[in-house]
């Protein structure tokens, strides 16, 4: 499924309906745009006239066709300008672009989702998909790591995810005295999770060092590389593979990704200072 226009250069202007503060420096922007559809894992180019564009993953429910949500950390010119907008302002949208999570390959499988930081945002649409079609999949598990408890993204949704049959485990790098959860990386939580390699798929998004360790850990437990997918982030300027800024070996992250089978990018992910 794609947006109504087949021209990837067409910008559709959407009204900014609502801004939700998620964690320090991270906000979710609700944009009104009729007849918009996407696959979990895809991204849009958000455009602000006179400032530029930024590639941002869609973080909303794929079943919603009139509201698009993007969860954004303010780190660059465009994203900092987004943080200065108010409800009622207009934002240009090109997309959706890129590959999505291979949902159709998950039927009957247990699904493990491992995220770090804002990497939970591209996985959130997949979580909604799993919840909506819960009977079609096996066990669902979310493992999420953040810097501090205050940085745990979408924390107000965890209970509803659990109620829908998806386990949620969280960990933080630095904890307050009130924190009673896990401290450290996602790796111990993943190691303690029971895993049947014959009927499990794993999707991960976050810092590349985290994704490398996660992928190698489950490979050692017998999970086939074909059922491990990673979502990569590069400097995506055009979204259609023309500018070359996001080239990653023989691939362009904007059109060949951002979701890749781990086996396809495994060698490049272990190249130092690539």
Q: Is 90 exceeded by the pLDDT of residue 89?
A: yes
- For residue 205, which of 105, 104, 59 has the smallest C-alpha distance? 59
Quick check: is 237 in a domain?
A: yes
> Model confidence at 35, in pLDDT bands (50, 70, 90)?
confident
Instruction: Tell me the mean pLDDT in the region 141-152.
Output: 97
Q: What percent of the chain has pLDDT over 70?
A: 97
How far is C-alpha 148 from the chain's CA centre? 19
pLDDT at 259: 97
Are 182 and 263 in a shared domain?
Answer: yes
Instruction: Tell me the mean pLDDT in the region 118-122.
Output: 98
Quick check: is 1 in a domain?
A: no
pLDDT at 3: 41
- Asked if 200 and 108 touch (Cβ cutoff 8 Å), the reply is no
Q: Is 50 exceeded by the pLDDT of residue 134?
A: yes
Are 16 and 135 in a shared domain?
Answer: no
- Looking up residue 166, the CATH number of its domain turns out to be 3.40.50.80
Segment 163-219, tens digit of pLDDT: 999 999 999 999 988 999 999 999 999 999 999 999 999 999 999 999 999 999 999
- Asked if 216 and 230 touch (Cβ cutoff 8 Å), the reply is no
pLDDT at 177: 87
Q: Which are the contacts of 103, defined by CB distance < 8 A and separation ≥ 6? A: 39, 40, 126, 129
Are 81 and 127 in a shared domain?
Answer: no
The mean predicted confidence, pLDDT, of the chain is 94
Instruction: Name the CA radius of gyration of the chain, rounded.
Output: 18
pLDDT at 5: 56
Q: Can you give the residue range of the structural domain that contains 183? A: 103-269
- For residue 218, which of 100, 112, 109, 102 has the smallest C-alpha distance? 112
């Amino acid at each position: 499924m794609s947006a109504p226009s087949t021209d990837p250069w067409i910008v559709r202007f959407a009204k900014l309906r609502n801004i939700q503060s998620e964690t320090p420096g991270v906000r979710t922007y609700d944009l009104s745009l009729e007849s918009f559809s996407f696959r979990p894992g895809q991204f849009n180019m958000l455009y602000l006239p006179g400032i530029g564009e930024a590639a941002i993953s869609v973080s909303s429910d794929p079943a919603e066709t009139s509201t698009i949500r993007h969860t954004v950390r303010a780190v660059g010119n465009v994203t900092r300008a987004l943080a200065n907008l108010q409800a009622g302002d207009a934002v240009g949208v090109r997309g959706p672009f890129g590959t999505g999570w291979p949902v159709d390959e998950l039927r009957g499988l247990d699904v493990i989702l491992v995220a770090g930081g804002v990497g939970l945002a591209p996985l959130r649409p997949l979580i909604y998909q799993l919840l909506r079609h819960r009977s079609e999949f096996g066990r669902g598990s979310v493992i999420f790591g953040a810097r501090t408890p205050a940085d745990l993204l979408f924390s107000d949704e965890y209970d509803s995810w659990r109620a829908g049959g998806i386990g949620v485990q969280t960990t933080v790098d630095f904890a307050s005295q009130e924190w009673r959860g896990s401290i450290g990386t996602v790796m111990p939580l993943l190691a303690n999770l029971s895993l049947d390699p014959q009927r499990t798929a794993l999707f991960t998004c976050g810092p590349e060092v985290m994704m490398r360790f996660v992928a190698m850990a489950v490979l050692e437990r017998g999970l086939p590389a074909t059922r491990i997918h990673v979502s990569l982030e590069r400097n995506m300027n055009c979204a259609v593979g023309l500018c070359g800024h996001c080239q990653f070996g023989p691939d362009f992250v904007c059109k060949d990704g951002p979701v890749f089978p781990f086996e396809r990018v495994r060698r490049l992910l272990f190249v130092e200072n690539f």
